[in-house]
Amino acid sequence: MMPSDNLTTYLVIALLLLVTGIYGMIRHRTFIGMLISSEFILNGAALNFMAFNRFLAPNPAVGQIFTLIIMGIAAAEAAVVVSLILMVYYKYRSIDPGEVRDLKH
């Protein structure tokens, strides 16, 4: 059986995307780097849905619709987080998570 016809291959790829996202989330020293890592996590989840949809699901439309929702949420999340980062930058003059400690400045 070819690797591209195998459910496990896609699950492992999605798992590696998740691990990449978590590693980047811990390692990056800026909010924008953490946002980039969260995109990896969301796309790993979407790939999981698509893989289960292709190999197991009774109705192939369901997984595709759920993946569309994940894409929409990822886009909305990116827009909101970028504007929050801009606001934090105007207030604190920094986007380093270690420097932004106070709730009220």
Partner 1 sequence: MIVYRYVAEALFFFFTALIFLGGFVAIRSRYLMNAVLGLALALSGIAGLYFHLGSPFLALMQILISVGAVCVIIAFGIMVGPRPKPEAERRIAGRRNIFLAVSACSAGFMLLIAVIVTATWTPAAIRTGDFSVKHLGENLLNQFCLAFELISVVLLAAIVGALIIARIGREETGP
Of 11-70, which residues contact partner 1 (CB under 8 A)?
A: 11-13, 15-20, 22-24, 26-30, 32-33, 35-37, 39-40, 43, 46-47, 50-51, 53-62, 64-69
Asked if 89 is part of the footprint of partner 1 (rule: CB under 8 A), the reply reads yes
DSSP string, 28-95: --SHHHHHHHHHHHHHHHHHHHHHHHHHT-SSHHHHHHHHHHHHHHHHHHHHHHHHHHHHHHHHHS--
Cβ(98)–Cβ(29) below 8 Å: yes
How many chain residues bind partner 1 (CB under 8 A)? Answer: 74
Asked if 100 is part of the footprint of partner 1 (rule: CB under 8 A), the reply reads no
Rg of the chain, C-alpha, whole Å: 17
Report in angstroms how near the CB of residue 90 gets to partner 1 at its nearest: 5
Identified binder of partner 1 from the candidate list 86, 100, 102, 104, rule CB under 8 A? 86
Q: Which residue has the tokens 């996590």?
A: 41
Report in angstroms how near the CB of residue 98 gets to partner 1 at its nearest: 9
- Distance separating alpha carbons of residues 14 and 8, to the nearest angstrom: 10
Of 61-80, which residues contact partner 1 (CB under 8 A)?
A: 61-62, 64-69, 71-80
